[in-house]
Amino acid sequence: MDKILINGLTIYGYHGVNEDEKTKGQPFVLDITAYADLAAACRSDNVNDTISYAQIIKKIKIVFNDRKFDLIEALAQYLCNVLFAEFDRLVHVDLRVTKPRAPILADFDSVAVEISRSRK
């Protein structure tokens, strides 16, 4: 299966268990792998025959803060659901949500959740 990859998409959001995370917010980093049959786009060289990565980014940015989630697991699932609803050609998606500044008293680079979902 062909893939469209979006790596390091940074969006400021208001998700987390702690109240400060919901009010002050923090940056989140998304890595998205969208699976689809891209053969028609390869032949036609026409954006209408693919899933536009620009449109994926636009949609994610629009809905990212529609709701406030305690868990990045629930946020990731919500974003996958949105992508399946928006893009008919999408067959499968791997989505990683990373919190580089999670409020944990420890020395670490980031925490993340990655989910893998297929169209039903």
List residues with catalytic annotation: 99
Instruction: Determine the longest span between alpha carbons in the chain, in angstroms.
Output: 52
For residues 79 and 13, the answer to whether their CB atoms sit within 8 Å is no
Query: Is 76 exposed, middle or buried, given 0-12, 13-18 or 19+ CB atoms closer than 10 A?
Result: buried
Q: 3-class DSSP state for residue 10? A: strand
Give the Cα separation of 76 and 28 in Å (integer): 11
